[in-house]
């Protein structure tokens, strides 16, 4: 497997750790960078590091800049416009799904209570977005 | 008019008032035409009197002129006098005819004209005879005494008749003028009165209309307030269930995830009992997660806006069935769906009904090696009812009432999984469609769930 970087944007430490655990379990990425909210994510993308992840996993409910706000900003910037983005959230309210897709999310995964089910979902989306469906760089 | 009466009565009063106003205006219109025509007729009859008098005066004048020119012709033999004579006498019968026409309504005058006419004709004939004699002899000859006397008597009779006719016509004219003036006065009064009534009606209509508009505005403001309150309440419920969905599930995920992590990372340090305890922690956590989801689904079913349309329930059932077959690939279930079950309803909500009823049918036939499920329609008490029938474990009919209560379960959760919210959700959806739901069963003989979807009469249950 070639070098793959995933940017995980998640404010909840427990959720972040479980997501990392699922990603590592299936060896989906060589490098996983975590941001605690939208502002941190934008600093990583546009700051000195100029991070160019292969996939972004973003939570919706976050302090300062939430997932929807981050999605809007990422899609507005020419350098990050075509990044694959998967929304990863607790909510399955219609309006979140609709808003997410309307603002250009590529996929949507609802975090289930059952960790093993979640782990399977992460594996599936990782395979799809990192191996099968590479966005043009 | 008392305006502080209830809406229904006020509407009825407004209708009656409007009808009375219409009848009144129509009556005034018809009456107005009659009054105007009478006044016109009166004016016309006055004009006719004047014409009749003029014609009578003209008859006398022309006869007098005829006598004069006849005499002048006799003396001079000047042909121009003869021509004038002919012109004058030619006009006389025409004037008599017009007087006859103008006085056609008065028998007395008609009688006098009938007497006058032969006198005039006789007098003209006598003058014409004199002229003929003058032409034959080349000179005028004086009339003898007898003829002279007869002419004088004729002239006298003609003058008397003419004067009588004129006097009679003046008498009629006075009457007609008085009558015409009366009628004109009445017409003026009538039109003034009509205008006043119309004015009052319009003013009332305007006042009532303004009152109604103010009332409506007040009612609309009240409705808008209630609507705003309802929207606010709905938004609050919306945000509450969003928080429940998000915030309750997050710690559950941590409990489940780290229990699993514990099993994976430290499994070798735990004995079988320790692992079993962790499995129970995870099972309880996941059950709690499903409960939260089901409660949210129930709440969403109650809150969501209904979008009614006519659709094919058979096709919807086939879709739900296909998904069930996918999630239960090991099951052998024979399903019969009656074709073309067209119903009125919200397809999204009815799909939840079918998911639950077919899901239950799958669940409670799990112990059959080959299960049978049927979806169809029947008539119950004159109403079309749809049904989902299975040949599963069924239930004790004594508890049929409890089926649709939230968190009610008739079977052991260990035997058949579930939260007991599915049928409560189904019942709420059916009720929102204005329908009924019931079930019949006997233990081990399967169950049949019936529901109606009147659709058109759907009512909102808050």
Write down the pLDDT at residue B183. 82
Q: How many domains does one find in chain B? A: 2
| CB-CB under 8 Å, B289 with A18 | no
User: pLDDT tens, A85-118?
Assistant: 888 877 666 677 788 888 888 888 878 777 777 7
Of the residues B156, B182, B214, the one at which a domain ends: B214
B351 shares a domain with B458? yes
Of B242, B257, B288, the CB nearest to A18: B257
Predicted confidence (pLDDT) at residue A2 exceeds the cutoff of 80: no
What CATH code is carried by the domain that includes residue B426? 3.30.565.10
Rounded Cα distance between B346 and B308, Å, is: 5
Q: Mean pLDDT over residues B232-261, rounded?
A: 78
Confidence of residue A80 (pLDDT cuts 50, 70, 90): confident
Better-scored residue on pLDDT, B33 or B389: B389
B26 shares a domain with B132? yes
Rounded Cα distance between A105 and A69, Å, is: 12
| CB-CB under 8 Å, B260 with A113 | no
Q: With respect to residue B357, please indicate whether it lies within any of the assigned structural domains.
A: yes
Write down the pLDDT at residue B456. 44
User: pLDDT tens, B58-106?
Assistant: 998 998 988 888 888 888 888 889 889 999 889 999 999 999 988 888 8
Q: With respect to residue B300, please indicate whether it lies within any of the assigned structural domains.
A: no
| Partners of residue B265 in chain A, C-beta under 8 Å | none
Of A21, A90, A115, the CB nearest to B250: A90
Write down the pLDDT at residue B314. 92
Q: With respect to residue B232, please indicate whether it lies within any of the assigned structural domains.
A: no
B321 shares a domain with B208? no
What CATH code is carried by the domain that includes residue B88? 1.20.120.1730
Chain A contacts to B (CB-CB under 8 A): 12, 14-15, 18, 21, 61, 89-93, 111-116, 118
Confidence of residue B357 (pLDDT cuts 50, 70, 90): very high
Closest B-chain CA to A110: B246
What 3-state DSSP class applies to B251?
helix
User: pLDDT tens, B367-380?
Assistant: 888 889 999 999 88
User: pLDDT tens, B204-218?
Assistant: 888 888 888 888 888
CATH number, domain A5-131:
3.40.50.2300
Q: Using an 8 Å Cβ cutoff, are B314 and B374 in contact?
A: no
Better-scored residue on pLDDT, B78 or B417: B78
Predicted confidence (pLDDT) at residue B196 exceeds the cutoff of 90: no
Q: With respect to residue B287, please indicate whether it lies within any of the assigned structural domains.
A: no
Of B246, B285, B286, the CB nearest to A61: B246
- Reported as type and span, the H/E element at residue B216 is helix B145-243
B318 shares a domain with B202? no
Closest B-chain CA to A89: B246
Q: With respect to residue B236, please indicate whether it lies within any of the assigned structural domains.
A: no
| Partners of residue A115 in chain B, C-beta under 8 Å | 253, 256-257, 259-261
Q: Using an 8 Å Cβ cutoff, are A71 and A98 in contact?
A: no
Confidence of residue B358 (pLDDT cuts 50, 70, 90): very high
ipTM above 0.85, yes or no: no
Q: Provide the shortest C-alpha distance from residue A14 to chain B (in Å).
A: 6
| CB-CB under 8 Å, B253 with A111 | yes
Domain residues for the domain of B204 are: 7-214
| Partners of residue B245 in chain A, C-beta under 8 Å | 90-93
Number of Cβ pairs < 8 A linking chain A and chain B? 54
* Range in B276-290, B344-358, B402-416 with the lowest mean pLDDT: B402-416
Q: Mean pLDDT over residues B174-192, rounded?
A: 84
Rounded Cα distance between B131 and B85, Å, is: 10
Q: Name, in order, each residue with C-beta under 8 angstroms of B215's C-beta and a sequence gap of 6 or more.
A: none
pTM of the model: 0.47
User: pLDDT tens, A13-70?
Assistant: 888 888 888 888 887 777 889 999 888 988 888 888 788 888 888 988 888 888 888 9
Q: With respect to residue B340, please indicate whether it lies within any of the assigned structural domains.
A: yes
B184 shares a domain with B46? yes
Of B250, B254, B286, the CB nearest to A114: B286
Closest by Cα among B350, B337, B338, B358 to B309: B350
Write down the pLDDT at residue B449. 93
| Partners of residue A18 in chain B, C-beta under 8 Å | 253-254, 257-258, 261
């Amino acid at each position: 497997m070639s070098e793959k970087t995933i940017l995980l944007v998640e404010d909840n430490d427990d959720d972040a750790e479980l997501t990392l655990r699922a990603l590592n379990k299936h060896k989906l990425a060589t490098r996983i960078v975590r941001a605690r909210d939208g502002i941190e994510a934008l600093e990583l993308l546009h700051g000195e590091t100029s991070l160019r992840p292969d996939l972004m996993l973003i939570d919706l409910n976050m302090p300062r800049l939430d997932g929807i706000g981050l999605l809007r900003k990422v899609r507005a910037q020419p350098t990050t416009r075509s990044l694959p983005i998967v929304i990863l959230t607790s909510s399955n309210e219609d309006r979140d799904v609709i808003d997410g897709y309307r603002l250009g999310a590529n996929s949507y995964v609802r975090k289930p209570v059952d960790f093993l089910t979640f782990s399977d979902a992460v594996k599936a989306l990782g395979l799809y977005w990192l191996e099968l469906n590479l966005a043009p760089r | 008019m008392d305006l502080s009466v209830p809406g229904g009565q006020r509407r009825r009063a407004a209708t009656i008032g409007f009808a009375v106003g219409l009848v009144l205006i129509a009556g005034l219109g018809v009456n107005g035409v009659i009054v105007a025509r009478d006044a016109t007729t009166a004016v016309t009859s006055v004009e006719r009197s004047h014409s009749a008098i003029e014609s009578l005066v003209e008859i006398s004048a022309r006869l007098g002129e005829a006598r004069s020119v006849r005499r002048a012709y006799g003396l001079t033999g000047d042909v121009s006098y003869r021509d004038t004579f002919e012109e004058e006498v030619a006009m006389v019968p025409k004037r008599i005819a017009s007087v006859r026409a103008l006085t056609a309504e008065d028998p007395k005058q008609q009688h006098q004209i009938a007497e006058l006419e032969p006198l005039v004709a006789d007098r003209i004939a006598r003058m014409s005879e004199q002229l003929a004699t003058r032409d034959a002899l080349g000179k005028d000859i004086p009339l003898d005494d007898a003829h002279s006397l007869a002419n004088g008597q004729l002239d006298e009779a003609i003058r008397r008749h003419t004067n009588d006719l004129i006097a009679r016509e003046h008498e009629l004219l006075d009457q007609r003028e008085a009558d015409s003036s009366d009628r004109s006065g009445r017409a003026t009064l009538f039109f003034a009165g009509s205008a006043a009534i119309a004015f009052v009606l319009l003013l009332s209509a305007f006042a009532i209309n303004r009152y109604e508009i103010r009332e409506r505005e007040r009612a609309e403001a009240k409705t808008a307030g209630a609507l705003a309150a309802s929207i606010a309440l709905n938004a609050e419920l919306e945000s509450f269930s969003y928080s429940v969905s998000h915030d309750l599930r997050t710690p559950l995920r941590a409990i489940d995830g780290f229990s699993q992590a514990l099993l994976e990372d430290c499994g070798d340090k735990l004995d079988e009992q320790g692992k079993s305890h962790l499995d129970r922690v995870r099972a309880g956590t996941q059950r709690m997660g499903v409960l939260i989801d089901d409660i949210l689904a129930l709440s969403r079913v109650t809150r969501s806006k209904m979008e009614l349309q006519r659709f094919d329930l058979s096709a919807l059932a086939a879709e739900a069935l296909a998904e069930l077959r996918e999630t239960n690939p090991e099951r052998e279930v024979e399903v019969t769906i009656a074709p073309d079950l067209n119903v009125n309803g919200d397809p999204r909500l009815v799909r939840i009904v079918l998911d639950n009823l077919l899901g239950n049918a799958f669940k409670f036939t799990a112990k059959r090696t080959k299960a049978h499920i049927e979806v169809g329609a029947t008539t119950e008490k004159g109403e079309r009812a749809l049904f989902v029938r299975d040949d599963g474990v069924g239930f004790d009919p004594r508890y049929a009432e409890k089926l649709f209560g939230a968190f009610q379960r008739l079977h052991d959760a260990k035997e058949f999984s579930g939260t007991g919210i599915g049928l409560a959700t189904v019942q709420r959806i059916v009720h929102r469609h204005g329908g009924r739901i019931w079930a019949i069963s006997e233990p081990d003989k399967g169950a049949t769930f019936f529901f109606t979807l009147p659709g058109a009469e759907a009512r909102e249950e808050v």
